[in-house]
Structure 1
Amino acid sequence: MVERALVEARGLDRLHAVIIARHGEVLVEERLRGPGLDTPVNIKSASKSVLSALTGIAIGQGVLEGVDQPVAPVLAADLPAAPDPRLSDLTVGHLLSMRAGLGRTSGDQYGRWVTSPNWVRHALARPFEDEPGGRMIYSTGTSHLMSAVLTRASGRNTHALAVDWLGEPLGIRIPPWPQDPQGVYFGGNDMLMSPRDLLRFGELYRLDGEIDGRRILPQGWVEESWRSRGVSPWSGNGYGYGWFVRRSGGHNVHFAWGYGGQMLFIVPSLDLTVVMIS
């Protein structure tokens, strides 16, 4: 089965690297083209799963109160003039699950958003298309708000948190990635991680937040992150806290999904972790 998967992978002309591990043992590790397996690459929106991990750690350390914590007080300095009263209902959990209700900053709104003078304020000023806690509205602006919350609540930038909370304990490299005009690291996009380091991050989740005898994620965070809270209107996949979820071949599959084919799949029932970089 692994050989068949590898043959099919080699036929994908845009696939750069593939790593397949089962029971923690690497079965396939191949660079097909592009950067090496230890070279950090842009994992695009797979960054949202990493941001979710940082949020879980922040809650575990008491930096954040929990998923029900309102975010408007934390982001008070960036609220738009005459803010919509519903902003006061936004919580950490709404941001992680893409159920903020705010209009998208992705798609045809993306260019306008990233050229705005204040990304956080621009995202908060988007008109509400649903109530907070309603349907899933996928928007990188929503995840960027989560990066801003982490930064404001901790007094440290998101890159520093990523290095201290994930990079050091996992033994992985997380280089700096782009920031907004106020210095907030891009939340949910453009993080850099090598294929091997992304596998290591995936193994942390496969092992329920504990790796090499060290607990990194709070107990129960992986389960909560993988519980579907909304459904993508485009793919039909479920969405938890920064992770997509679906059934495939009779198994629950949890995955981080970045534009262009930056993928991290975890199938707990098979002890399987797969990385694909394109």
Structure 2
Amino acid sequence: MSRLPRSTAEAQGLSAAALDAFVGALDAGGPEIQTVMLVRHGHVVLEEAWTPYRLDDRHLLFSVSKSFTSTAIGLAVDAGLLSLDDAVVSFFDADVLPETISDNLAAMKVRHLLTMTTGHDEDTVAALSRDRRMVKTFLGLEVQHEPGTVFVYNSGATYMLSAILQKLTGESLLDYLKPRLFEPLGMSEAIWQVSKEGIVVGGWGLSLSTESLAVFGQLLLQHGEWDGQQLVPAEWFEAATSKQVPNDNQENPDWQQGYGYQFWRGRHNTYRCDGAFGQFILVFPEYDAALVTTAATGDMQAILDTVWDHLLPALEGKEVPEVSRPSVVELAPPSGPAPAGGDGTTYQFAADNPAGLTAVRLDADGTGTFSFRDLGDDGPHDVVCGPGGWRETSAPGAIDDAGAQTGARVVTSAYGDGDAFVATLRWVDTPFAATLTCRVADGAMTVDGKLNVSFGPLDFSLISEAMSQS
């Protein structure tokens, strides 16, 4: 059931032709767009999903999660559980605090976590990921600068906000937000990654649908009010989305406009929730509009530039550059001849490789079965790739709040390139896709892999270690 009413563009003061041109520009641009939704005056006037992606699927949001963590802190402040001037060390017991608390650590306050001005030289998340005791690790790191003096984007700071909330309430961040935000807004699909020490990670790991993101954008435009109920104090959203600290030490222009409480300021008097690879909730307060994108790109600025060049003029009532809108928006599977059939040999790989690939079998019918290590304890899971259009399957996905593993949609296709079997896999609840080029020679298989987006290397190569006849 839709939570936002639908409308024609013209009924909300926009040109349908201009929105078509915007979709055409997104489709023709370099960044891979997966879904888009535009809300104007509380109505959805544009919604598109590039097949095989869908608007109502969960999507991994990366740092868009931070804005939801900020909202939880705002609710806790309103409830009197904490204040922005509370010292970070005041929330934790001696077993996680360092023996000697430095002056800079002692001076670190909740507001410094919110504004990414903790005083660290670099993001602490890499250090936190090396130890399951992430809170203890954070508190034990050197704080090089006086808190409040230097902006350094710091996902570890957001993790600490989640840890503080859990310490205060005895509830996880997700459980705290459920009755206060997610349930009133109809976001029943929300799941959030939990760390090994049992804390919702806060700065990343939240999954929601495109429409849920649009609902949150509308909530921001309505200053925290929904269906006659003030879910979030208007004062909190006003402060959170305003420039609290300068961040002109960043490289790109839309990341130099100031930072609030886990929200970015942008050009043209906008602000946004912002996640890696092009996950955006972009809010235009002057035009009573919010744009959502889910995407897979390393060039997030290019998405924003397309918005400024093609959507902003439409909101301003100005002439929009003409771009043809395709009749169908899709991310088609790579095309090529059908792959040659294999002999059913299973080639095995060391499971600690970047792809988590444990085995590959190529069969006589031109299909390939790829086995990946599981997230849980149930052993590997298999994904079959074959020629033709997208083949949909399910694989173990994220862990939901009840501790159960969710089924992730995976679509696959394959073609032949000379002696190579080339498989494409898309995990459609994330931005991630992989191309695996498999060749057999001298009794071994080599798999050359390419990822569309990644926090690490985009390319890798694997050689099978052993094989057995199926």
Q: Give TM-score, length-normalised by structure 1.
A: 0.92
For the 8 Å contact 1:118–1:180, the answer to whether it is kept is no
CA deviation profile, 1:99-132 (whole Å, cap 9, x unmatched): 11124335xx62x431313111222222223211
What displacement does 1:210 show?
Answer: 0.7
What displacement does 1:247 show?
Answer: 2.7
Tell whether 2:104 aligns with 1:89: no
Q: 1:31 to 1:152 in 2, by over 3 A?
A: same
Tell whether 2:257 aligns with 1:242: no
| Among 23, 28, 32, the residue aligned to 2:46 | 28
Looking at structure 1, the residues matched to 129 and 54 of structure 2 have their Cα atoms a distance apart, in angstroms, of 30
CA deviation profile, 1:65-124 (whole Å, cap 9, x unmatched): x21222211123422332323222221111111111124335xx62x4313131112222
- 1:63 alignment counterpart: 81
For the 8 Å contact 1:103–1:126, the answer to whether it is kept is no
Looking at structure 1, the residues matched to 243 and 64 of structure 2 have their Cα atoms a distance apart, in angstroms, of 17
CA deviation profile, 1:213-251 (whole Å, cap 9, x unmatched): 110111311110122122332232310001000232xxx
Question: Which structure features the higher share of helix residues?
Answer: 1
- What letter corresponds to residue 40 of structure 2 in structure 1? R
Which secondary structure state, in structure 1, belongs to the residue aligned with residue 192 of structure 2? Answer: coil
Tell whether 2:89 aligns with 1:72: yes
- 1:8 alignment counterpart: 25
Tell whether 2:128 aligns with 1:113: yes
- 2:173 alignment counterpart: 158
What displacement does 1:11 show?
Answer: 2.1
Which secondary structure state, in structure 1, belongs to the residue aligned with residue 277 of structure 2? Answer: coil
Looking at structure 1, the residues matched to 144 and 24 of structure 2 have their Cα atoms a distance apart, in angstroms, of 44
Alignment of 1:1-278 (within 5 A): 1-12=18-29, 14-64=32-82, 66-76=83-93, 77-105=95-123, 110=126, 112-232=127-247, 233-234=249-250, 235=252, 236-248=256-268, 252-278=269-295
CA deviation profile, 1:149-206 (whole Å, cap 9, x unmatched): 1110111111101212211111112533222221011021111111110111111111
State the identity %. Answer: 27
Q: 1:129 to 1:237 in 2, by over 3 A?
A: farther
Looking at structure 1, the residues matched to 208 and 99 of structure 2 have their Cα atoms a distance apart, in angstroms, of 38
Question: What stretches of structure 1 move > 4 A for 4+ residues in a row?
Answer: none
Looking at structure 1, the residues matched to 44 and 191 of structure 2 have their Cα atoms a distance apart, in angstroms, of 28
For the 8 Å contact 2:105–2:143, the answer to whether it is kept is no
Question: Which structure features the higher share of strand residues?
Answer: 2
- What letter corresponds to residue 213 of structure 2 in structure 1? L
For the 8 Å contact 1:20–1:273, the answer to whether it is kept is yes
Aligned residues: 271
RMSD value over aligned CA atoms? 1.7
For the 8 Å contact 2:87–2:110, the answer to whether it is kept is yes
For the 8 Å contact 2:280–2:294, the answer to whether it is kept is yes
Q: 233-242 vs 259-268, which deviates more? A: 233-242
- What letter corresponds to residue 45 of structure 2 in structure 1? L
For the 8 Å contact 2:272–2:281, the answer to whether it is kept is yes
